[in-house]
Structure 1
């Protein structure tokens, strides 16, 4: 490769490197607004607590507490807050849907 070819290759690599997006760290993680319509991000601190911890909460909007092996409807409502429990009645997940 001649000098011009090498220079063009280096410039192409710098151009591609400049086009990459910066990634956010864990401390600046943004909440996905569309997938957090019900406010599930505000209740993630309940993961690991017993399902009965939800009883004292005052939540505006639809809420569903789902114990282990419970029958639930398959309708998907992004505005509904769900607390999913395991076989020991401990909250394993808080999500919208």
Structure 2
């Protein structure tokens, strides 16, 4: 019989495994769908984990926006626009087209 502590630890490990980010580019990542990557977000995944200010001064081929935590932004969906999402510490958490 499995103890309650062992079962709780196993459940916590499973839940935390689901929280891992798949945004990092690497050898294990699959091919990128060109239709969903029109803005070239796959080329900027190395900025995830860096401060939003890390993109200051960069020039982009497509429209781009840095979105600080809790900021109001338009909800229009534009696959040609590059988005850098920031968290409450102004760290980039996601880079995507839309």
* TM-score between the two structures when normalised by the length of structure 1: 0.71
Measured after TM superposition, the shift of residue 56 of structure 1 is 2.1
Measured after TM superposition, the shift of residue 26 of structure 1 is 1.7
Q: How does 1:1-97 map to 2 (within 5 A)?
A: 26=28, 29-97=30-98
Unaligned segments of structure 2, at least 5 residues = 1-26
Displaced runs of 4 or more, over 3 A? none
Question: In structure 1, the residue corresponding to 2:80 is in which secondary structure?
Answer: coil
The separation in 2 between residues aligned to 1:47 and 1:70, in whole angstroms, is 18
Measured after TM superposition, the shift of residue 57 of structure 1 is 0.9
The separation in 1 between residues aligned to 2:75 and 2:88, in whole angstroms, is 21
Unaligned segments of structure 1, at least 5 residues = 1-24
CA RMSD after TM alignment: 1.3
Residue-pair matches, total:
72
The separation in 2 between residues aligned to 1:31 and 1:37, in whole angstroms, is 10
Question: In structure 2, the residue corresponding to 1:83 is in which secondary structure?
Answer: strand
* TM-score between the two structures when normalised by the length of structure 2: 0.70
